[in-house]
Structure 1
Amino acid sequence: MEIPNFAPVPRSNMTEQRLKAAAVELEATFLAEMLKAAGLDKARQAFGGGAGEDQFTSFLLQEQARQLARSGGIGLSETLFNAMMEKTHAD
C-alpha cells in the first residue's frame, strides 16, 4: 500500500484556517449571549430539574450557539474573518 505524498499546507492557509476558526468561535460567543438574553439559558425541567440541570444548561446553550455559528449563523463570523484578514495583510 502506497502512502500518498501530501504537500505541506502553506503557512498562509494555516493562518486563514486559524482566523476562520477564531471568527466562528467569536460569533458563537455572541450568539450564546443573545440566546441568554432571550431567556433560553433557563433550565426547562426536562430531565427532572435540580442543580445539575441548572449547571449544565449553560454548556448546552454554548454548544447550540457553536452549531449555529458553524452552519452559517448570522454572518458575523464572515465579517470578523474578513476584518482579521485585512489586518493580517496590512502588517
Structure 2
Amino acid sequence: MQVLPPPSALSGQTQEQALRAVAEKLEATFLSEMLKSAGLGKTPEGFGGGSGEDQFSSFLREEHANAVAARGGIGLAESLFNALKGDAHG
C-alpha cells in the first residue's frame, strides 16, 4: 500500500487539492478491499491462470477501485474530504 505524503508536502497543489486527492485514494483503497471481499479477481476453481493470475489480481482490483473512485465513487471521498477539511456541513 502506498503511503501518501502530508498535504503540506505536496508542491504545486493547494491544500484543498491535496486533501481531495488523499480522500479519493482512501475511497479507492476501501473499494479495493470491498471488491476483494466480493471475490473480484479470485481464480475460479478448476480453471485459471495459476499463481501468476493470483499474484496480479490485486492490481486488477486496485485499478477497478481507482476507476470507480475517480468517477465519483460511492460518495465516501467527498465525506472524507469534508472531514479532513474541517467542514462539518459538507
Whether the TM-score (by the shorter chain) exceeds 0.5 is yes
Amino acid at match of 1:49: G
Q: Distance in 2 between matches of 1:72 and 1:66?
A: 10
CA distances 1:34-76 after superposition (whole Å, capped 9, x unpaired): 111111130359xx50211110011110111011001000000
Structure showing greater radius of gyration is 1
1:22 is matched with 22
Percent identity, please.
58
Q: Distance in 1 between matches of 2:60 and 2:39?
A: 13
Amino acid at match of 2:53: E
Q: Distance in 2 between matches of 1:86 and 1:44?
A: 45
Q: CA RMSD in A?
A: 2.1
User: Is there any run of 5+ residues in structure 1 with no aligned partner, and where?
Assistant: 1-10
1:57 is matched with 57
Equivalent residues in 2 for 1:6-85, closer than 5 Å: 14-43=14-43, 49-85=49-85
User: Is there any run of 5+ residues in structure 2 with no aligned partner, and where?
Assistant: 1-10
- TM-score scaled by structure 1? 0.73
